[in-house]
Structure 1
Amino acid sequence: MKRTLPLRALAAFEAAARLESFRAAAEELALTPSAVSHQVRILEARLGLRLFDRVGRGVVLSPEGSELFGRIGGSFDALAEAVEAAARRGRRARRSEVVLLRTPPSLAGCWVLPRLSAFLAAHPEIDLRVHADLRLSTDSGTRFEADGVDLAIWYADHAPAAAAPLLTETVQPLCAPALAVRADLRAPRDLPPLPLIVTRDNRLSWEAWFRRQGVALDDGFAGTIQLDPSHVAIEAAVKGLGVVLESDVLAEDALRDGRLVAPFPGLGVTWPAYWLGTARNAAGKEGVEIVRAWLMESAVRPAPAGE
């Protein structure tokens, strides 16, 4: 007849031997030190051996304890690996809910993507598919359910039907640090002689921004370079091609790591810009609600560094 192993006692012994401390083993196993000591005494009584010697206020393995630990330590590692492998298979088996998120291309690349790795690691059971669609910069917000989309983000100056505010942006001049130093940018009137980068769907033109600053565009105006979409214009500014009038939401990473600077802080224009909607036939689905909650939470936190 197969004998039953004293697994609780063996687990307490293995942890105490590996960590060389009953207290540390207790913390790892969510027990009290006295409970760990009790389990070790149970094992010693069953084996008829002394497994630890007390030295000062601590413990060290006895020769018999060292031999036992050497024989079972690898077994616990193998058990942990087997359990984790089974858990991975279980998570893959549960990966059955597809959630389709539609978003403007630049937001997908500049804001969603830096956050995506952490989400996928935390929710392997969700098959999140991101569809970048330029139409969501101008769409009225009512034509997306027929395409099987569960969630959609719009860039607009007002809320589409049944959409919730997601992100507020500040649009301001941005440039590479070296260009700011080389051009000695001290006031908005220093900008017209420089190449100014624009994007087609930006809600604020350079002309409108200069009017706000009381700067007239005279013969010294060097003109603009149009680059689309916004993430292309931002990358051009990073490379020093010119100054871009862009959103701090899209330029978040470049501003954080110093590839771009705002030479005139406080002179940007701030407004609600991005809106999140849920398809009527997707509302209430667990995966959709998880993705929606993640997007809303991400809107109030910066992306993890290095993502």
Structure 2
Amino acid sequence: MSGSSLPLRALVVFEAAARLGSFRAAAEELALTPSAVSHQVRALEAGLGVTLFERVGRGVSLSADGAEYFAGIRDGFEQLRRATERMVRRRAGRRAEVVRVQTPPSFAGRWLLPRLPALLAAEPGIDIRVNAEKDQRPGAAGVDLMIVYGDARAWSRSARPLLDEALQPLCAPALAAGIRTPADLLALPLIGTRGNGLSWAQWFRRHGIDPGRAGPAMELDPSDVAIDAAAKGLGVVLESDVLTEEERRDGRLAAPLPGFAVTAMAYWLLASTEAEDRLAVVLVRDWLLTAAGR
């Protein structure tokens, strides 16, 4: 069987039967008779020279060859379905489907919003609504996707890792020039943020320094305020590389001690039970995971 003569009708029938686990269910979905489904499957088996289904009683189950073949074509069919649904939405002039995303405030402004134009260009039929909430609750009403800081597995087994972060001292370049060792920070003004996954005291202990030798850290919330203060030269902030991407790229913040970063899984993505199977939600979820390198 050559690639130029793919038996597309038989492939459609096989994919439906394999996905649904039943010739009868595939026949109902495709508006065919069960005998027509069986005929198409037999023709495909003959062309491939393998047995795709094992006949068990009055039902069927995938053979080893059938399971391998289905695994190879499944993603392609899913992409076809998504592309077709997007085109139908556009041609039919339907209103954009709303996907509501809840995220911590600093993450929304510093990571998500700069990437939203690319998402909207990729999925013009989706209306993204971003709700930047500091206090997040599992299963919040009206939320399709949640981006959670901390370990969301305590909330839901379906939480998927999105981004890890490196927490490290960051400051204006002029201040960074005088920092050579972690002990140098003891004499400098320190900036902390209450919601961070690591405090200055914990960071000092991890590197063998008594935190009691440091002066009190000024606490600035949310992270946006603390990052801006450090960029203006007010002190050294212990912050995430995820949230300080722009300042580090533009040279407004420098990492004087790059070898002393603490890395941990920080951001998790989860969909509400009611929305997790909606195509628009799946598309946004997959886009976010891709943008995060997942």
- Corresponding residue for 2:111? 111
Report deviation, 1:192.
1.4
1:1-307 equivalent positions in 2, closer than 5 A: 90=90, 93-136=93-136, 139=137, 142-144=138-140, 147-157=141-151, 159=153, 160-161=155-156, 162-181=158-177, 184-217=178-211, 221-300=214-293
Report deviation, 1:133.
0.6
Report deviation, 1:122.
2.4
The answer to whether the 8 Å contact 1:174/1:246 transfers is yes
The answer to whether the 8 Å contact 1:192/1:223 transfers is no
SS at match of 2:264: strand
The answer to whether the 8 Å contact 1:170/1:268 transfers is yes
User: Cα 1:269–1:287, aligned 2, differ >3 Å: closer, same or farther?
Assistant: same
Separation in structure 2 between the aligned mates of residue 288 and residue 202 of structure 1, nearest angstrom: 29
Aligned residues, how many?
205
Separation in structure 1 between the aligned mates of residue 266 and residue 287 of structure 2, nearest angstrom: 18
- Corresponding residue for 1:44? none
Report deviation, 1:229.
0.9
Structure 2: gaps spanning 5 or more residues: 1-86
Separation in structure 1 between the aligned mates of residue 160 and residue 285 of structure 2, nearest angstrom: 11
- Give the structure with higher Rg (CA): 1
Separation in structure 1 between the aligned mates of residue 264 and residue 183 of structure 2, nearest angstrom: 24
RMSD: 2.1
Separation in structure 2 between the aligned mates of residue 218 and residue 245 of structure 1, nearest angstrom: 17
Taking only the aligned residue pairs, the percentage that are identical comes to 55
The answer to whether the 8 Å contact 1:92/1:124 transfers is no
CA deviations on 1:106-153 (whole Å, 9 max, x unpaired) are 1101110110112112222110000001013xx4xx332xx1110001
Structure 1: gaps spanning 5 or more residues: 1-86, 302-307
Q: What is the identity, as a one-letter code, of the residue corresponding to 1:165? A: P
Separation in structure 2 between the aligned mates of residue 288 and residue 95 of structure 1, nearest angstrom: 16
Separation in structure 1 between the aligned mates of residue 284 and residue 252 of structure 2, nearest angstrom: 30
Report deviation, 1:91.
7.6
Separation in structure 2 between the aligned mates of residue 167 and residue 90 of structure 1, nearest angstrom: 33
Separation in structure 2 between the aligned mates of residue 289 and residue 265 of structure 1, nearest angstrom: 37
SS at match of 2:93: helix
SS at match of 1:111: helix
Report deviation, 1:218.
5.2
Separation in structure 2 between the aligned mates of residue 297 and residue 109 of structure 1, nearest angstrom: 19
